[in-house]
Amino acid sequence: MNFFEEWVELDLNPVISFSSSGKLLFSNHEAQFLFNRIKQKELFDLTLKYAPKTFGVETTYIDLSIENYTFYAITVKYDNEDEIHMKLYKSAMVKKDSQLSTKNTNITNIFTLVDLAISSKKIKSKSKFLKNYDPSIPEFKINAKEFIKTLNLIYDAFIDSEILTTSVILKIGEYIKIDGKKYSIISVEISSSNEIDLDSFNYEDENASFILTILKDRISIDLPLITK
């Protein structure tokens, strides 16, 4: 891998190349996280929508929200009819001035907690459990009791899933604001290979230490990265 290839791979914005038929030719590391949330065809259609009318490159400023992502611009480039390339520019987004509780939180290894929940559910479930962990995430403050309780409820809601993927990632460019201070976000996302009826899933806790987001085939837990 040369310098420029490595530079693109390390870019904090999604960079993707498609063939003329929509086949994925290249995606950097950040784009791979995006594919966990958005179908490939949707991104290909987005690329075509903002492509220049003739060969060349065009950057368009947009206000685009896709699930938990917010983008402020897109660049599309193509020099021939065989390949087309795009780059999305992520907004640095503060989720909200949150009233999240930091009570009963202790420095904890999040992977240990997730593995514990998965191990207990594997015994009763026919689902195949997959894991996608970012090993660079340090130990940080978590209300372990509340977190495990919520994970168990989520896995119970996905009991009919064929494949369950649990991702633990650091959200680049997004923050949770607590008492005026910004904290990076660690997101734990549980997604199903097939659509699940989540209308009956309901978790409310006035003293919650995280933000819960429920979508049609996945649920995510966003936690503030507080290390001391």
Q: Say how far residue 7 (Cα) sits from the centre of its chain.
A: 22
**Last residue of one domain, picked from the residues 74, 91, 108:** 91
Q: Which pLDDT score is estimated for 205? A: 66
**Last residue of one domain, picked from the residues 47, 73, 91:** 91
CA–CA separation, 74 and 87 (whole Å)? 6
Task: Based on the fold, state whether residues 104 and 208 are members of the same structural domain.
Answer: yes
Task: Based on the fold, state whether residues 33 and 118 are members of the same structural domain.
Answer: no
CATH at residue 215: 3.30.565.10
Task: Based on the fold, state whether residues 79 and 53 are members of the same structural domain.
Answer: yes
Q: Which pLDDT score is estimated for 97? A: 47
SS3 34: helix
Nearest to 184 by CA among 115, 138, 152: 138
Q: What is the pLDDT along the chain (228 residues), one digit of tens a residue?
A: 678 888 888 888 999 999 999 999 999 988 887 887 788 999 999 999 999 999 999 999 998 877 667 788 999 999 999 999 999 998 765 555 457 878 889 999 999 999 999 998 888 888 899 999 999 999 999 999 999 999 998 998 888 888 999 999 998 777 888 887 889 999 999 988 877 777 667 777 666 788 888 877 788 899 999 998
Task: Based on the fold, state whether residues 83 and 111 are members of the same structural domain.
Answer: no
**Last residue of one domain, picked from the residues 59, 75, 91:** 91
Domain, as residue range, for 31:
3-91
Task: Based on the fold, state whether residues 102 and 215 are members of the same structural domain.
Answer: yes
Task: Based on the fold, state whether residues 86 and 171 are members of the same structural domain.
Answer: no
Using the structure block, give the residue that is written with the tokens 């660049």. 75
CATH at residue 17: 3.30.450.20
Task: Based on the fold, state whether residues 112 and 210 are members of the same structural domain.
Answer: yes
Collect contacts of 207-212 with beta carbons under 8 A, ≥24 apart: 207/101, 207/103, 208/100, 208/101, 208/146, 209/100, 209/101, 209/102, 209/103, 209/104, 209/105, 209/142, 209/143, 209/146, 209/147, 210/100, 210/146, 210/147, 210/150, 211/95, 211/98, 211/100, 211/176, 212/150
Task: Based on the fold, state whether residues 11 and 58 are members of the same structural domain.
Answer: yes
Task: Based on the fold, state whether residues 76 and 154 are members of the same structural domain.
Answer: no
For 164-178, the pLDDT digits (tens) are 999 999 987 778 888
Task: Based on the fold, state whether residues 122 and 189 are members of the same structural domain.
Answer: yes
Output the average pLDDT for the chain.
Answer: 86
For the chain, the domain total comes to 2
Q: Which conformational region is residue 210 in: left (phi greater than 0), alpha (psi within -120 to 50 degrees), or beta?
A: beta
Task: Based on the fold, state whether residues 113 and 219 are members of the same structural domain.
Answer: yes
Q: Which pLDDT score is estimated for 217? A: 75
Task: Based on the fold, state whether residues 86 and 123 are members of the same structural domain.
Answer: no
Q: Which pLDDT score is estimated for 180? A: 78
pTM of the model: 0.63
